[in-house]
Homo-oligomer: A and B are copies of this chain.
Amino acid sequence: MVRTSLRVRLLHIETGGINIVVLNSDQAKDLDLKHLDRVRVFNHSKDMICSIDITKVAVKRGEIGLFVEPEVKLGFKDGDELFIESVPKPKGLGAIREKLDGKELDKEELYDIVKNIVDDELSDVELTAFITASYCKGLSFEETYNLTKAMVDTGEVLDFGKGPVFDKHSIGGVPGNRVTMILIPIVASQGIKIPKTSSRAITSPSGTADTVEVLCPVTLPKEKIKSIVNKLNGCMVWGGSFNLAPADDKIIKVEKPLSIDAEGQMLASILAKKISVGSNHVVIDLPMGPGTKIPTHEKAEHLTEVFTNLGKKLGLKIECIESNGSQPCGNGVGPALEAIDVLKVLTNDPSQPKDLREKSLIFAAKIFEMSGNAKKGKGLELAAKVLDSGEAYEHFKKIIKAQGGNPDVKISEIKVGKFIYEVKSGCKGIVTMINNKAIADIARAAGAPYNKGAGLVVNSKLSDAVNENDTLMVIHAESREKLLRASEVLKDKKVFTVQ
């Protein structure tokens, strides 16, 4: 194949994704290269595949513009000589094309696509085509299975041997809901291995990893995570700490702006992460209610069935629990305010949110019964004992310390946003509806999750009787500007319905 010699011009701009190099438009015509065509970019020692972008101004004939991603990966400098030659399209593209026509993809085809995704070889157009085709045409059981395997195989894995290793996952959509942070110390303190990795918020006010981070670091090297779990049975780290099913994040980046959550891809991404951390027993929280991903009981039953069957084929024992997703779980929404809820439950504080305590116990109980630590029907008793005795809190402190945090932090020492705005009822009555989505939007506008102390505290829950001047919710922000921003969002939303 014919190669062309070019001089590097660094552009100092990230693309945020795929590897792109920029050619002058006349040169591109000369080489018959079009927008998004692939080229191999190389010199005597380095080599990578990039997509072409075309410019009239930024790059002259004879030059090649490098965005930050290929600059970093290749280590080239301004003026270096390098070569390009055209290369065939990525292998997965043919399979994406077939999926658009409704063909069922086999193991190799799905592997090719996922490998291309992980290696940043697909353009936004091509990746979107795969995701929307999978959404429109659906993924079969077999395809979902093979997609899961491909996601695992293209990432790093942890290995804790063949003994029982547990995990827990929530389908999400419920503000607060920091069950994981209470559940982990309860079950890990009883010798159950549970290497929990969690995500950060994308559109929510806080992910579990964001909240844990109020108390200790969550980005730990893979070996450190392994040693903590081997010593304490549990951890609470960020899933991005190592390269865990990396295709998933790239798929989510496309799904989010389209507000789609293709079932097959959701199943594959959840289970791939569980397998990658070495789990073989998983409890899944299916929060049901308006505004969650599970609007009806039928949808929950359907998901339970596919999760269980898919788990069986993948060697995972899976149990699903339907929970109430119609309002926030706990009172705090936002990293610090949620961390306070967690500490209150663990220390049996009188002002602890009862709903968060109960939900955490139910999930711990399920794990105890699956592991054999408790007989069927006796898990709840054991979970409550471990929590109330302070054993869970002691174990929690050990994990926080092992991850590099201060285990003795007091609730009063956790900083929350000083700029506050109280939302009053306006009338006397009963709370009949709480809008999860509005709560999330307001907490984000107040600065969560990036401002750890920002968010809100929900004082009134469904069925509570309230008076005209009762405070239903308190917004916290770390600056006056953010508080203003949150109150602007509040204006447009109906958060509570009082009747």
Residues of B within 8 A of A450 (CB): 29-30, 32
Number of interface residues of A (CB under 8 A): 54
User: Which of B22, B136, B445, B447 makes the CB contact (< 8 A) with A132?
Assistant: B136
Cβ of A388 < 8 Å from any Cβ of B?
Answer: no
Pairwise interchain contact A258-B97, C-beta atoms closer than 8 A: yes
Residues of B within 8 A of A1 (CB): 488
User: Looking at the complex, which one of B54, B68, B125, B135 makes contact with A128 (CB distance below 8 Å)?
Assistant: B125
- A34 to B56, alpha carbons, bound, how many Å? 28
Cross-chain contact of A257 among B125, B132, B444 (Cβ < 8 A): B125
User: Which residues of A (112-171) have their CB < 8 Å from a CB of B?
Assistant: 123-126, 128-129, 132-133, 135-137
In angstroms, Cα B57 to Cα A97, docked, is 36
Q: Which residues of B contact A91 (CB under 8 A)?
A: none
Contact B11 A260 (CB under 8 A): no
Q: How many copies does the complex hold?
A: 2
Q: Which residues A55-88 have CB closer than 8 A to chain B? A: 55-58, 65, 68
Check A53 against B132 for contact (C-beta < 8 Å).
no
Q: Is A254 an interface residue (CB 8 A)?
A: yes
The 8 A CB mask of A166-195 against B (1 = contact, 0 = none) is 000000000000000000000000000000
Q: List 13 A-B contacts (CB under 8 A).
A: A2-B481, A12-B58, A13-B58, A32-B444, A34-B202, A34-B256, A57-B68, A97-B259, A100-B132, A100-B260, A124-B124, A124-B128, A125-B128
CB distance from A22 to the nearest CB of B (A): 7
Q: Is the CB of B100 within 8 A of A14?
A: no
Q: Does A16 contact B (CB under 8 A)?
A: yes
State in angstroms the CA–CA spacing of A254 and B484 once bound together.
41
Task: State the Cβ distance, A155 to closest chain B Cβ, in Å.
Answer: 22
Residues of B within 8 Å of A65, CB to CB, are 13
Binding site for B on A (CB under 8 A): 1-2, 11-14, 16, 22, 29-30, 32, 34-36, 53-58, 65, 68, 96-97, 100, 102, 123-126, 128-129, 132-133, 135-137, 202-203, 253-254, 256-260, 444-445, 447, 450, 481, 484-485, 488
B16 touches A125 (CB 8 A): no
Contacts of A54 in B (CB 8 A): 14, 16
Given A55-B14, A129-B132, the answer on whether A32 and B445 have CB atoms closer than 8 Å is: yes
Q: Chain B contacts of A12 at CB under 8 A?
A: 57-58
Least CB distance from A342 to B in Å reads 24
Q: Given the complex, which residues of B lie within 8 Å of A96, measured CB to CB?
A: 258
Is the pair B126, A129 in contact by a Cβ cutoff of 8 Å?
A: no
Q: Which residues of B contact A58 (CB under 8 A)?
A: 11-14, 68
Q: Verify B125–A258 contact, CB threshold 8 A.
A: yes
Q: CB-CB < 8 A to A34: which residues of B? A: 202-203, 256
In the complex formed, the residue of B with least CB distance to A57 is B12
